[in-house]
Amino acid sequence: MMVVSAKSVVCLCFLFSVCHVRGAYIPQKMNRTILNLLKHYNISKEEKYNGQLVFSKEAIPEKLLEKRVFMRGVLETYETLISKMLKELPTPLPDTTGSKGGVGEGGAGEDVRTELNYILQKVLELKKNQYKEHDNLLSSLKKLISIKMDNATVQSKALGELPWLYEEASDLNNEIQSRRRRRQARKVKTHQRG
Ligand SMILES: *[C@@H]1O[C@H](CO)[C@@H](O)[C@H](O)[C@H]1NC(C)=O
Ligand SMILES: *[C@@H]1O[C@H](CO)[C@@H](O)[C@H](O)[C@H]1NC(C)=O
Ligand SMILES: *[C@@H]1O[C@H](CO)[C@@H](O)[C@H](O)[C@H]1NC(C)=O
């Protein structure tokens, strides 16, 4: 009995990996919630299908490490975006009149709030569980972008720091090139042998 169930688990895992399709990671509830939210955040068909993505697919790097750092940035962007959307929701008014209309409107807003909060929570979970180690790299990149370039002190100091940074950057490039050369040499060797 135990053996059989272990076997079927293996089978299932195998099946899962073979049948792994896009969307396998999206919980049904999350998918439904997004569809629901899109009813609220509706835009015209022309805008929706104008072929311009907010997150362009070409921008996603192919190399694994680069991709991970980039995807962490994407998650963080969603964190900021959804927080902003939450802030823009009308604050629930205290129900003083007891009129049905007011309650209905407030109710719809609260649904959206609940749904946005759920999506935000899913994004934060993924970021926390799988992207913790890239915290530092991304914040370093952000610091780089936020350097005050019109400040004379910054300009002078940056100039002074260029020699060692230039060397670091050149070194890295050499290293990548020599790795590539080694790889190619190995390929040629195996090719000659074969
Ligand atoms: C999300 O829901 C839509 C509509 O029900 C469905 O067509 C789509 O396949 C679902 N996607 C995922 C990833 O479950
Ligand atoms: C969005 O609005 C259009 C009309 O402007 C309507 O035809 C469409 O069904 C709406 N979409 C959703 C998801 O509610
Ligand atoms: C320029 O940057 C330096 C060092 O960060 C800072 O002390 C100084 O106040 C800045 N000057 C201006 C005009 O912002």
Cβ 38 under 6 angstroms from ligand 2:
yes
Using the mean position of ligand 1's atoms as its centre, give its distance from the Cα of residue 36 in Å. 12
Task: Give tens-digit pLDDT for 28-44.
Answer: 999 999 999 999 999 99
Tell me the C-alpha distance between 36 and 5, whole Å.
39
- Tell me, yes or no, whether 55 and 137 share the same domain: yes
Cβ 42 under 6 angstroms from ligand 2:
yes
- Tell me, yes or no, whether 160 and 137 share the same domain: no
Over residues 103-129, mean pLDDT = 82
Ligand of minimum distance to the alpha carbon of 158: 3
- Tell me, yes or no, whether 54 and 86 share the same domain: yes
- Tell me, yes or no, whether 111 and 38 share the same domain: yes
- Tell me, yes or no, whether 80 and 167 share the same domain: no
- Tell me, yes or no, whether 164 and 72 share the same domain: no
DSSP state, 92?
Answer: P
Q: How many Cβ atoms from other residues are within 10 Å of residue 85's Cβ?
A: 17
Task: Answer yes or no: is 15 within a domain.
Answer: no
Name the residue among 33, 128, 35, 31 with its Cα closest to residue 76: 128
- Tell me, yes or no, whether 180 and 96 share the same domain: no
Mutate to test the pocket of ligand 3, among 146, 147, 150, 153 (most ligand atoms within 8 A of CB): 153
Q: Whose CA is nearest to atom 13 of ligand 1?
A: 23
Task: Give tens-digit pLDDT for 145-174.
Answer: 899 999 999 999 999 998 888 888 888 877
What is the three-class DSSP state of 31? helix
pTM of the model: 0.66
- Tell me, yes or no, whether 137 and 178 share the same domain: no
Mutate to test the pocket of ligand 3, among 148, 149, 150 (most ligand atoms within 8 A of CB): 148
Structurally, how many domains does the chain consist of?
A: 2
Task: Answer yes or no: is 194 within a domain.
Answer: no
- Tell me, yes or no, whether 135 and 163 share the same domain: no
- Tell me, yes or no, whether 62 and 78 share the same domain: yes
Q: Which domain holds residue 134?
A: 27-146
